C-alpha cells in the first residue's frame, strides 16, 4: 500500500475564515442606527467593496436583521373590490421584476449582469396599480399595508459585553 506524504495546510479556521470584524457605531450615534441599518450597510456597501478585493473569495454575514419590504393584504378589502390574490402577486411581480443578463469573467471571479426593478420605496410599492376599472386605478395601498419587516433570524451576535452587534466574517 502507498500513502501520500502529510503536509501543512494554510493557517485558518476549520471553515477557512481568515478575518472577522464587527460593524459598530461611533459613541453618541447609537440611537441613529438599528441593527437592521447596520446589516443593510454591510450587505450593500461593505460586502460589495470587500468582494472586489483580490483574494477575497467569500464574505459571510452574521447578525442583524435582513431588511424586507412586506405587503400585508387586507382580505376584507380584497374581497370588497373583487380582486384575487394572484392579481396582486402579478402586479407586484411585473412592477419590480429582475431580468437576468449574463456574466463577465475577470481573473477568478464572475460578475453577473442583470436589470433590476424600479421600486425604491414603500410609497413606490403602495402606488403599484393592480388594475384599472372605468379609468380609475386600484393601487396596492388601497388593499394592503406596505411596511418594512425582516427575514427570520437563526441567531444573534454579541461583542465586548455590549449587547447585540452586527458581525461579519
In this structure, is residue 159 part of a structural domain?
A: yes
- CA–CA distance, 86 with 146 (Å, rounded to integer): 17
Domain count within the chain:
1
Q: Please, what's the b/e burial string for 38-63 (b: 16 or more CB within 10 A of its CB; e: otherwise)?
A: bbbebbeebbeeeeeeeeeeebeebb
Structural domain includes residue 144: yes
Domain containing residue 99: CATH number:
3.30.2090.10
Give domain status of residue 104, yes or no: yes
The Cα–Cα gap between 10 and 16 comes to: 9
pTM of the entire structure? 0.60
* 19 close to 60: Cβ distance less than 8 angstroms: no
Each residue of 130-157: pLDDT tens digit? Answer: 999 999 999 999 999 999 988 887 667 7
Dump pLDDT digits (tens) for 52-99: 888 787 888 877 888 888 999 999 999 999 999 999 999 998 887 777
Range of the domain at 95: 21-50+61-168
55 located within any domain: no
Amino acid at each position: 500500500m502507498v500513502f501520500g506524504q502529510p503536509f501543512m495546510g494554510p493557517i485558518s479556521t476549520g471553515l477557512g475564515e481568515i478575518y472577522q470584524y464587527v460593524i459598530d457605531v461611533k459613541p453618541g450615534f447609537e440611537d441613529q442606527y438599528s441593527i437592521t441599518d447596520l446589516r443593510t450597510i454591510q450587505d450593500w456597501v461593505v460586502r460589495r467593496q470587500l468582494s472586489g478585493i483580490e483574494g477575497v473569495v467569500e464574505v459571510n454575514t452574521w447578525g442583524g436583521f435582513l431588511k424586507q419590504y412586506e405587503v400585508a393584504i387586507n382580505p376584507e378589502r380584497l374581497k370588497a373590490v373583487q380582486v384575487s390574490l394572484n392579481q396582486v402577486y402579478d402586479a407586484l411581480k411585473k412592477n419590480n421584476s429582475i431580468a437576468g443578463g449574463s456574466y463577465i469573467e475577470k481573473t477568478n471571479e464572475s460578475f453577473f449582469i442583470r436589470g433590476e426593478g424600479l421600486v425604491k420605496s414603500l410609497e413606490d410599492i403602495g402606488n403599484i396599480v393592480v388594475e384599472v376599472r372605468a379609468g380609475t386605478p386600484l393601487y396596492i395601498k388601497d388593499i394592503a399595508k406596505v411596511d418594512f419587516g425582516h427575514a427570520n433570524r437563526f441567531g444573534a451576535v454579541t461583542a465586548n459585553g455590549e449587547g447585540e452587534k452586527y458581525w461579519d466574517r
